[in-house]
Amino acid sequence: MFFTCGPNEAMVVSGFCRSPPVMVAGGRVFVLPCIQQIQRISLNTLTLNVKSEKVYTRHGVPISVTGIAQVKIQGQNKEMLAAACQMFLGKTEAEIAHIALETLEGHQRAIMAHMTVEEIYKDRQKFSEQVFKVASSDLVNMGISVVSYTLKDIHDDQDYLHSLGKARTAQVQKDARIGEAEAKRDAGIREAKAKQEKVSAQYLSEIEMAKAQRDYELKKAAYDIEVNTRRAQADLAYQLQVAKTKQQIEEQRVQVQVVERAQQVAVQEQEIARREKELEARVRKPAEAERYKLERLAEAEKSQLIMQAEAEAESVRVRGEAEAFAIGARARAEAEQMAKKAEAFQLYQEAAQLDMLLEKLPQVAEEISGPLTSANKITLVSSGSGTMGAAKVTGEVLDILTRLPESVERLTGVSISQVNHKPLRTA
């Protein structure tokens, strides 16, 4: 078995034979295989997305971490290449990447379990170096070298990282309470010491009393002054420390209230922005769309009314022109007819007049009988002689008609009976 390496892959040539041929050259013996097999293994750099979901850290907080690793089979090192061939020969690049990914993910989970969330979050470089170091020592036995490892993302579902700030505030409050308790404890200790010193001074003064009563009185007074002074100082120091502690606690409380108020203001601003967007989507935009629709409809109706008015005006104008033309044509026809009648009157004179009279006689008769047709009731008064009833009415009408030529002759000077016997004159 021997290896040949290229830039992106390694080729492994192996062979076997029951009775292999032997070749001697230069004092060396070479055994030639009868059957050869060529297998390739990829030397490309593999990028792995190492995800560890909900791993419990040292303090029991579950977090999720994502890292990016660059790995490859080391083709320049024959020992590592041989180990890689034993492990991965015949496997695809995806299978090799899966094995390396599982190994890296296991080491990543193990390191997460030994660190706190704060250590991983604040010192990512340390976490990355530990994963790189542990994974490299394990993968090198497989012939794989870790080129690089970088912590890409860290998050959790419990808002632990978000609560780190709140935890810090709580820690400050806790430290303030502890400081207050320690101050009280120190004050008690100092008070006890003062009492002890007082007792010691009292004992010493009693011993000195045996020497001299005067010295006792003087020293006792001096000791009393010193004890009272120290007690007053201790009381003042205690009160000053209590005031300082209360002031610190009040400052921390005010800071907490300021932070809470800022968060409430931020939430209210978000709610206002959300309501404004909702108002924009539900009221303003539909109202603008309705206004735009009404404007378009009004413009369309206005255009339609203008076009309709223009059409009606054009129709009136055309109709007026047509009526004017018809009136003109009728006037011209009547004028032409009158001219022709005038010419006929000049040519025929009495015959034309007679023709006109005869043409109008039926109309005259119609006008004479018109009142009779519209009468609802006729009352006849007779002197007792002549015809009676409807014959009387008919006779009256015929009598009017027989007198008509005489009336015409008196009005126009034309005698119908004489015109019928005269010859026509031509111009």
In a domain, residue 369? The reply is: no
Whole-angstrom distance, CA of residue 258 vs CA of residue 250: 12
Whole-angstrom distance, CA of residue 357 vs CA of residue 345: 13
User: Quick check: 54 pLDDT over 50?
Assistant: yes
State whether 74 and 12 are in the same domain: no
Q: Name residue 338's amino acid.
A: M
Question: What pLDDT, in 10s, does the model give residues 356-390?
Answer: 666 766 776 677 666 666 666 666 666 555 565 55
In this prediction, residues 398-413 reach a mean pLDDT of 69
Work out whether the CA dihedral 241, 244, 246, 248 comes out positive or negative.
negative
Of 133, 158, 183, the position where a domain reaches its end is: 158
In a domain, residue 325? The reply is: no
State whether 78 and 147 are in the same domain: yes
Question: What pLDDT, in 10s, does the model give residues 8-52?
Answer: 565 555 544 445 554 445 555 555 555 456 667 777 888 888 888
Of 109, 126, 158, the position where a domain reaches its end is: 158
State whether 83 and 150 are in the same domain: yes
Q: Name residue 315's amino acid.
A: S
In a domain, residue 117? The reply is: yes
State whether 39 and 50 are in the same domain: no
State whether 10 and 73 are in the same domain: no
Length of the chain: 427
Q: What pLDDT band is residue 149 in, cutting at 50, 70 and 90?
A: confident
State whether 21 and 54 are in the same domain: no
In a domain, residue 413? The reply is: no
State whether 32 and 70 are in the same domain: no
State whether 89 and 29 are in the same domain: no
Under DSSP, is residue 148 helix (H, G, I), strand (E, B) or coil? Answer: strand
In a domain, residue 284? The reply is: no
Whole-angstrom distance, CA of residue 247 vs CA of residue 243: 6
In a domain, residue 134? The reply is: yes
Helix ranges (H only) for 210-284 are 213-279
Q: Which one, of 425, 406, 427, lies nearest residue 415 by Cα?
A: 406
State whether 92 and 3 are in the same domain: no
Dihedral, CA of residue 241, residue 247, residue 252 and residue 254, to nearest 10: 170
In a domain, residue 330? The reply is: no
Whole-angstrom distance, CA of residue 406 vs CA of residue 416: 9
Q: How many domains does the chain have?
A: 2
User: Quick check: 176 pLDDT over 50?
Assistant: yes
State whether 53 and 20 are in the same domain: no
What are 302's two structure tokens? Answer: 């206005």
Q: List the domain range (segments joined by +) for residue 76.
A: 46-158
Cβ-contact 50, 105 below 8 angstroms: yes
Residue 16: the pLDDT is: 47
State whether 113 and 14 are in the same domain: no
State whether 33 and 54 are in the same domain: no
User: Quick check: 223 pLDDT over 80?
Assistant: yes
Whole-angstrom distance, CA of residue 76 vs CA of residue 96: 18
